[in-house]
Amino acid sequence: MVDLRTTISSWKGRHSSEISDAKEIVHATKKSPLTIVGLSLVVALVLVAILAPYISPHDPIAMHLENRLASPSMSHLLGTDELGRDILSRIVHGTRVALLIMIIVLAIDLPLGVFLGIVAGYFGGWVDEIIMRMADIFMAFPRLILAMAIGAALGPSLVNTMIAIAITMWPAYARLARGETLSIKERTFIEAEKALGTSKARIILSSILPLCSSTTIVRATLDMGNVIRIAAGMSFLGLGAQPPTPEWGLMVATGRSFLINQWWVPTFPGFAILLAVFGFNLLGDGIRDISDPHLRRGE
């Protein structure tokens, strides 16, 4: 018991800085109601995605043709679609698809972009030239158009959607990481490490990477909503997820023909997209503001 207590207090002593940082972040978050709304939306989305099979009232795939295009009611809160599937259940399961795409795309792009950006920025010369011209070329296409072209070339499917979006997004992170690296490289603490004889690899890993990745991660939180939106757009055009996957964009696309007479069929899935993207954007904005000491401290 006493041992535990001393362990805890020594841990607290060593991490007092982190504890006060955490307190500061909590304090700053509390003062920003929009961030709290965003955070709650995102937490809710994640919970819905995890618990989808347990909380969705019906099977998202099973068809009930006798009950097609039913308007919202107690048994089908958001109505049913043209094949009699419960729209609420499909939206709930759609959360999984949306989050999965987002997580996979960022899990590929963040490390890739940061790695290429740091290499380009730190070493400069022709390495920089090649990486950055590649980035320029990929950035010369509007994202959705390039993703569409890649999606069309690979054939429409969920996996190809992820690959397509991933290919369009790395240049943004690479550029950001390169810019950060260029400015960090000039700062005195890097010169101090050189003076100590620290190797290049260690300077990159222990001094540049932590600073570089935090800015890029902040930027990525601002992009989370974008990924969801682009994926939904591709599916809407028929170049992404294929039926019967419960994907929001696809649901809007198939429900489009019922817009006038059964408005709920395309409207609710679209609203789900808006809500999810809005949540991530609010949270991203909040994280950016809180992570910027200038904004955080200046009231």
Smallest distance, Å, CB 72 to other proteins?
A: 16
Cα dihedral across residues 82, 88, 92, 95: positive or negative: positive
Q: Which of 254, 285, 288 is nearest to 268 (CA)?
A: 254
Cis ω before 246 (30° cut-off from 0):
no
Smallest distance, Å, CB 239 to other proteins?
A: 6
Sequence-distant (6+) residues with CB within 8 A of 6 are none
Q: Which is nearer to other proteins, 46 or 55 (CB)?
A: 46
- Residues 190, 207 contacting (CB under 8 angstroms): yes
Q: Which of 45, 32, 63, 17 is nearest to 280 (CA)?
A: 45
Smallest distance, Å, CB 32 to other proteins?
A: 11
Q: Is 6 helix (H, G, I), strand (E, B) or coil?
A: helix
Q: Which is nearer to other proteins, 204 or 232 (CB)?
A: 232
- Residues 135, 174 contacting (CB under 8 angstroms): yes
Q: How many Å apart are CA 74 and CA 25, to the nearest integer? A: 42
For 61, half-sphere exposure in the C-beta direction (CA atoms, 13 angstrom radius) is 5
Q: Which is nearer to other proteins, 112 or 146 (CB)?
A: 146
Q: Which is nearer to other proteins, 66 or 299 (CB)?
A: 299
Q: Which is nearer to other proteins, 110 or 239 (CB)?
A: 239
- Residues 289, 295 contacting (CB under 8 angstroms): yes
Smallest distance, Å, CB 245 to other proteins?
A: 17
Q: Which is nearer to other proteins, 150 or 241 (CB)?
A: 150
